[in-house]
Chain A
Amino acid sequence: NAGVTQTPKFRVLKTGQSMTLLCAQDMNHEYMYWYRQDPGMGLRLIHYSVGEGTTAKGEVPDGYNVSRLKKQNFLLGLESAAPSQTSVYFCASSYEGRGVDQPQHFGDGTRLSIL
């Protein structure tokens, strides 16, 4: 009963390096989301997906890319990491229901530091 699994849990990068964060869910959820959480700012949506092969931009998409090649996986990429991307990243998924009437299930987060 894994739910939403994020890998890695921690990572330190140097400015300019690239990396990919993986989110996997085993609940057959249609919708998946990537958020970043910064002190005093709550959760801000980076990108999201309403189905396999689809992605859309959230409120803070710059500097990030995503892919949803398989229904159960949602990848978040940083092409050229910047210190401003130091944050805790959360992935969430939800059943489609009638849209957003279903609660989200969250992973435990990835703590990313960019030096």
Chain B
Amino acid sequence: AQSVTQPDIHITVSEGASLELRCNYSYGATPYLFWYVQSPGQGLQLLLKYFSGDTLVQGIKGFEAEFKRSQSSFNLRKPSVHWSDAAEYFCAVGDTGTYKYIFGTGTRLKVLA
């Protein structure tokens, strides 16, 4: 069955440090991949998406993600974290066979001043 794994439940980084959030997926075909961010009390907002082509995709707020088919990964990165990046981050894959989206359990990011 298709699945998405975010191995890190919590991550803490200092402001200005680099960030990498991990996402691994299990999907038979070429995946449609997404990263979303959720601030407290809010809904999810799209950061970036991957369909095909260039495996390094740029998103909003300075985030980028790299699709690595050989590792079944789609890790999210940011070179320098800002305090406002503290939030929960979700990786998702679109299941073309069922019209559903499968979400990981999320990674909560804490940023230290």
Contacts and interface: CB of A to CB of B under 8 A. Distances in A.
A74 interface: no
Interface residues of B, number: 24
Judged by DSSP, the binding face of B is: strand
Given A40-B9, A104-B101, A109 B43 contact: yes
Contact of B101 (A33, A56, A108): A33
Judged by DSSP, the binding face of A is: loop
Contacts of B51: 101
A40 B106 CA distance: 8
A81 interface: no
A103 B99 contact: no
Contacts of B45: 106
B90 A43 contact: yes
Nearest to B106: A42
B32 A100 contact: yes
Nearest to B4: A42
Contacts of A108: 41-43
A5 B104 CA distance: 24
Nearest to B44: A106
A4 interface: yes
11 contacts: A31-B99, A42-B106, A45-B101, A48-B99, A100-B32, A100-B99, A101-B94, A103-B34, A104-B34, A104-B46, A109-B43
Interface of A: 4, 31, 33, 40-43, 45, 48, 50, 56, 58, 90, 92, 98-101, 103-109
